[in-house]
Amino acid sequence: MMKVPRLLLACGLAVPVPILAASIDLEAYGKCTSYAVAEPPAPPDAEAVCLIPANQGMPSAQYALGAILLSREKYPEALQWLEKAASVKLPPAAHLLGEIYVHSTDSTLQARGRDLLRYAVCTGYPPAQSADDKSAAGNPDCSAAAPQSFDGSWSSQLNWVQAPPAGGTADQLRITIAAGAPKVYIRSKSEWIEVKPGQFKLQQIDETLVVSAIDSGWDLDGKWVESWVIQLLRLSDDAAAMSFVRTVNNIFLPEATGLRVFTAVAEGRATRVAQ
């Protein structure tokens, strides 16, 4: 665990949750985050650069700014920015603040420090996985932090970013998941049709689910290979951003037809309509 300056041990600041700006200065943001991961010390302009995306509501920039200010012994300002980042549950900020607060002489701050460390440990944040941090967090049982199941029926309107060249743009897509087994349906007009029955597989890491299938077959054009990849990126318990990519490859078709190789892409917002 880190060594904490004595001046910090009695400090703790409650701050409002930051509001994300409509646009982010990506150039300043890139520089700021590069300062945070580089070997110290940060360059003289680091504070001014990080202040731009930090004020725009980027939690990682708020954390970077707080860490830079901390290294420059600007403790009250550092805590303010770290608290802002921690208020939206950014694990690095929770980890750093937790390490600071568990050394406090204030029992309330000590308890908050343990909560912050417990959160950082249970999210899997690598720097929080040391034996010292786990001990300071009370060796928490993180089973409740396991990813939520995607079981249920997810439906999304399809907004075509790149339509297939030969038509076939369905209106809606539905994925039903039960006991780890996915089924995929498309809807054209009023009819739901299951696609590639029994061929889809799923993978899940945290709140991202990937449902995919690849197969091949023959027709009058020769042998084709087709893949479908559908991603659900959870936004809340029953809502997720959805992306859909379909590829087709047929080595027997002339390239000039535009049908030998193509990719179709759609996106939308999926809602879990039943569990």
* Nearest to 196, CA basis, from 221, 225, 164, 156: 225
Q: Which residues of the chain carry a pLDDT beneath 70?
A: 1-22, 274-275
Question: Which pLDDT does position 275 carry in this prediction?
Answer: 59
Q: Using one digit for the tens of pLDDT, what is the confidence trace for 11-68?
A: 444 444 444 555 899 999 999 999 988 887 899 999 999 999 999 999 999 999 999 9
Q: Three-state secondary structure along 199-235? A: CCEEEEECCEEEEEEEEEEEECCEEEEEEEEEEEEEE
Angle formed at CA 155 by CA 152 and CA 161, multiple of 5 degrees: 140
